[in-house]
Amino acid sequence: MRSRPSSVTVAVAVCVAVVAGSAAGIAAYGASRSPETVAASPGRHGDVTVTVRLWDEAVAAGYEKSFATFERDNPTIHVDVEVVPYADYAAALDADLDAGDAPDVYWLNSASYADRAEAGDLLDVDQVLGASARRAWSAPVTEQYTVDGRLWGVPQLSDGGIALYYNADLLAADGVDPAVLDDLTWAPGGGEGDTLLPVLEQLTRDAQGRTAADPAFDGTPVQYGYNAGQDLQAIWLDYLGSNGASLEDAAGTSFELDTPEAREAFQYVVDLVQQHRVAPPAALTNADPDHSREQFTSGHMALFQSGLYSLAPVAADADFSWGVAHLPAGPEGRVSVSNGIVASGNAHTPHRDATARVLAWLGSTDGSEYIGADGAAVPAVLGAQAAYYEHWADQGVDVSPFFDALATGDTIPAPTGIWGDAQPVVDPVLDEMFLGTASVEEALARAQEAATATLEDGRGTPR
């Protein structure tokens, strides 16, 4: 097996809530549904190479270990793991599908699977593995990728919500008790009841050591309080949800970007960047989605709002004391996004039997334990999740805030396929908004118009 070299890129689109008590539910079914349950004979035509593509280097490392075991038990099948950076992933996959050269198995997120399913590019998992296979997987992920009763991918990642990483050393130096982080709230315009902004100002300092609350603050921090910016999953979608706004309507058929609630939420986040200067400038974060995480791990940012997809990189790169606190709450409470990742089978693969065996392996406890064993991500295979929790417990890391964010059921849905079509035209407008070259009102009106146009002009229909 080999991995295509690439930069470490962790998905926009990771991950979804773990069902409470789900580990117990798998025991009765039989956690290790193995490839032998698939009625196929992949070796009858000789040795076969099955290519599996994803965008996460950390999970790819677990896949390499997993497929080494798979190849031992299936000597006629070789699995080739490819890693393509997330920024290039969708375009590369579309080009390969159009050229008839797509991988046999590839990761998809909620914004990208529906069109491919409608175009006939994906294998129906229930047909390939049997409908009973669903019992082994996280229910929210299977539901997310089921359309008209048909499941279009084998669930791979099932994550918690968004939480707040903190640099304990910086908090101590600036006189902030980590305990206060769990109760932070924001209010539109920084109004009554806003406890988040004062803390962020206290944790932001210029080269002279002056905080952002000091009238003499020069507006050029050397230590940032927070990572506000144009980040859908970690930042602005959660602010929308906690202010009673949303990206799409409940049916996933239209956009709701330009509403009073959305304008208030976006204005608050933009002001953190443009007015209060408690977060890195958009000129840096728009161009580099990893910039804020790198500022945090290098000790130049006190609070970093993100998901479990950032846990392994933070643990690997941070050389200071750190912890995890709850997501800030808004007028509607603490609301987090939820999402999931699946491995989909290429309906056009010339290696259908071998691909079926690989999909079955990825959906088994034995095949998925490698994902969680190194703490890379929470497996969506229920019987494999214990390895993830054990890993981080051994490291002394409490991951409960990520799951507490979802415990009340107050979540904002992940973007659907219509967002996948609209994002290329909406993102540049939101970039302008965070740069300050367009007002929030103007940008959201334009973004709504551009997003709606993608629905009205037929974009997103099968190729």
Exposed, middle or buried: residue 455 (CB in 10 Å: 0-12, 13-18, 19+)?
middle
Confidence category of residue 25, pLDDT binned at 50, 70, 90: very low
For residues 228 and 461, the model is more confident at 228
Per-residue confidence (pLDDT) for residue 201, from 0 to 100: 98
Where do the domains of the chain lie, and which CATH numbers do they carry? 22-160+339-400 (3.40.190.10), 163-337+416-456 (3.40.190.10)
| Cα 276 off chain centre by | 27
Summarised one tens digit per residue, pLDDT across range 115-141 is 888 899 999 999 999 999 999 998 878
For residue 239, pLDDT over 90 is answered with: yes
C-alpha–C-alpha distance, residues 123 and 425, integer Å: 30
Q: Of 365-379, 394-408, 410-424, where does the model show the most confidence?
A: 365-379
Amino acid identity of residue 434, one-letter, is F
Summarised one tens digit per residue, pLDDT across range 256-286 is 999 999 999 999 999 999 999 999 999 999 9
Q: How many residues does the chain have?
A: 463
Confidence category of residue 409, pLDDT binned at 50, 70, 90: low
C-alpha–C-alpha distance, residues 60 and 2, integer Å: 10
Token output for 205: 């300092």
With beta carbons less than 8 A apart as the criterion, state whether 74 and 66 touch.
no
Per-residue confidence (pLDDT) for residue 426, from 0 to 100: 97
Whole-number average pLDDT of the chain: 87
Exposed, middle or buried: residue 47 (CB in 10 Å: 0-12, 13-18, 19+)?
exposed
Confidence category of residue 6, pLDDT binned at 50, 70, 90: very low
For residue 91, pLDDT over 80 is answered with: yes
End-to-end Cα spacing for the chain: 32
Residues 6+ apart with CB under 8 A from 133: 33, 125, 126, 154, 360, 363
Confidence category of residue 413, pLDDT binned at 50, 70, 90: confident
| Cα 69 off chain centre by | 28
Residues 6+ apart with CB under 8 A from 416: 110, 111, 114, 248, 252
C-alpha–C-alpha distance, residues 359 and 107, integer Å: 11
With beta carbons less than 8 A apart as the criterion, state whether 330 and 240 touch.
no
Maximum Cα–Cα distance across the chain? 76
What is the DSSP-derived secondary structure letter of residue 216?
A: T
Per-residue confidence (pLDDT) for residue 458, from 0 to 100: 57
Please give the C-alpha separations between residue 380 and each of 57, 80, 139, 158, in angstroms, as whole numbers: 18, 22, 9, 4
Q: Of 43-52, 297-306, 396-405, 416-425, where does the model show the most confidence?
A: 297-306
